Amino acid sequence: MAIEIKVPELPESVADGTIATWHVKEGDKVSRDQNLVDIETDKVVLEVVAEADGVIGKISAEEGATVKSKEVIGSIEEGDASESSDSDDKEESKKEAAADKEDTSSEEKSSDEESSDEENSDEDASGEEIEVKVPELPESVSEATIAAWHVKAGDKVSRDQNLVDIETDKVVLEVVAEADGVLSEIIHDEGANVGAKDVIGKIIKGGEAKSEGKSASTKESSNDSGSDKDSDAVSPSVRRLLAEKDLSASDVKGTGKDGRITKEDVEKHVKSAGDKKSESKSEAKSESKPAAVSGDRTQKRVAMTRLRKTIAKRLLEAKNSTAMLTTFNEVNMKPIMDLRKTYQKEFEERHGIRLGFMSFYVKAVVEALKRFPEVNASIDGDEIVYHNYFDVSIAVSTPRGLVTPVLRDCDKLSLAEIEAGIKELAIKGRDGKLTMDEMQGGNFTITNGGVFGSLLSTPILNPPQSAILGMHKIQDRPMAVDGKVEILPMMYLAMSYDHRIVDGKESVGFLVTVKNLLEDPQRLLLDI
C-alpha cells in the first residue's frame, strides 16, 4: 500500500515553503520516524518523517520546488517495494524473466541479456533533451538571481544532483537534475535575473555526452567523490557561504559528522588562507623586485545579493515610514558588575546558568515600559495600540544574519529565566531552529552592539514597534563624582523612537529610568 508524503501544516502567516534537502532517493528503504526531507520557510526548517517502514516509491517535488501546506511531495511503498520508475519496472521484469529461464541453454540466456542491453542502450542513446527550469517562486517574489552553477556545460550529471543555486529575497533554491545525463547547455549565467519556470539550461538524457570520449568519462568518474561532497555533504547555508567566499567544497576539510563541512570549517579555512596570503605578501615586500603599480590599484565590482538588496530596502522603508529620532544617555555599570562578581558563583550553582548583563537590561526595560506605556505601543492605521503585555525582541546574530526572536511575558520572568530564555533563542538561531511564533509579535527591541565592540550607534526601528534600545561597549572613562575624578566602567545608551507616538519628554524619561535602574539594581527588587 502506498503512503503519501505530505507537506506539514504551515504557520498561518506562511503561504508556502521550499524543498531544501531530500535525505533519501527513490528506491531507498526507510524506517518509521526517519527524517525524509527538510522543508524551508522564511525563518523555519520543517522536518518530514516517514509514517511507516517501507521503500520510497516516487519523489514528485524535487529540491528547490515551492510547495503548499498539505501538498503531496512523494510516496512510500510499505514493505520491500521495487523501484517506482517505469523504466526500472521494465528492467526488473526482464531480470525476473531471465531468472525463471536459468535452466535453458546459456546461449539463449546470453541472447536475452544482449536483447535487454540493446533496449536499454537504445533508451539511453535516444538523446532526450530535458529542460532545467527555475522552480515555482513564492507568490510575493517576481524574480530571482542565478547565484552559483555547480556544473559546467559538458559535465556529466546524475539524478538529484544539485546543478545550480537560485537566490530570492530570503531563500536559496536548489535546482537538481531530473535524470542522469550530460549538461549540454547553460542558457543563463551566474548573476542573471530569472523568473519562475524560465529555462536556464538543458540536459541530454543518457550516460555521457556523445562528443566526449572514454578519457572524459574516466575524468568525470574520478570526480564523482568531489561532486558528491559538494551536493550531499554540504548544507544550503554552507554552500551559500562557500559561494560568497569563492571556494569549492573540495578546498575545505570537514570536521562535522561523516566529514560534513560546517560554517566554522569554512571560516577557519578563510582565516588560514588570509594568514598565508599575509605571509606571502610580507615575503614579497622583502624582495628587491618592485611591484607593479597597476596591481595595487585594481577594483572589483560584485553585484549585491538579493538578500542584501532586501535588507537595504527594508531598512530604508523603516526610516521613511517613521518619524525616527534617537536620544542618548550613559550609565555607570559598576554596581551591576560588583553584583555579578559577588554572586556569580552562587547564581550559577543554583540556576545552572551564568548571570549576564542582558537579564538586567531586560528587567530595567520592562519596568520602564510599565511607566511609559507610549513606548510599549504601536500605530495601526489611524489608531494607537497600547500593549498590556511585555514581549521583548532580542537581537541575535546568526549565520543567516541578524534576527530578533521574542522573549515573551518578561515581566513574569526572573533573572535566571531571562538568561536561560536568551541562551535558548541564541542556540536555536545558530542552528536555524527558530519557529515563526518565536520570530513574531515583539513590542520593544533590545540590541547589544557592545558584544562586537560598538561604542556608540543609532539603532534603526523594527516596525511596527515604536522604539529600540541600543546597548554598547562598557569602557573605563574618567568621570566627575562629588567634585573628584574617578575611573568608572561607563556604557552609552541609545534609544531610537517613533516621534509620531513618543514625544521627547517620554523618550528622555524612559531612558533616564533605564539608567537609574541599572545604576541602582536594588530598585528592581523594591519596584521604585
Catalytic positions are 499, 503
CB 174 within 8 A of CB 232: no
Q: How far is CA 126 from CA 119, 122, 160, 212, in A?
A: 11, 6, 21, 16
Residue 429: name the closest of 401, 448, 449 by CA.
401
- Provide the 8-state DSSP code for 11: P
All three cell numbers of 326:
534617537
Give me the half-sphere count of Cα atoms (radius 13 Å) on the Cβ side of residue 258: 5
Indicate the burial class of 211 (C-beta count within 10 angstroms; 0-12, 13-18, 19 or more). exposed
The SS3 of residue 479 is: strand
Round to whole Å and give the CA distance between 379 and 463.
Answer: 9
Round to whole Å and give the CA distance between 132 and 199.
Answer: 6
Name the region of 333 (left: φ>0; alpha: ψ -120 to 50; beta: rest): alpha
52-87 core/surface letters (b: 16 or more CB in 10 A; e: else): eebbbbbbebbbbbbbeeebebbbbbeeebebbeee
3-state helix, strand, coil in the chain (%, to 5): 35, 25, 35
The DSSP code sequence of 495-507 is: EEEETTT--HHHH
Torsion sign over Cα 278, 282, 288, 292:
positive
Lookup result for grid cell 501544516: 9
All three cell numbers of 262:
560546517
Round to whole Å and give the CA distance between 27 and 472.
Answer: 56
Specify the DSSP element, H or E, that contains 228.
Answer: helix 224-232
Round to whole Å and give the CA distance between 353 and 414.
Answer: 13
Cα 76 versus chain centre, distance: 29
The SS3 of residue 217 is: helix
Round to whole Å and give the CA distance between 143 and 188.
Answer: 14
The SS3 of residue 453 is: coil
Round to whole Å and give the CA distance between 44 and 429.
Answer: 10
CB atoms within 10 A of CB 101: 11
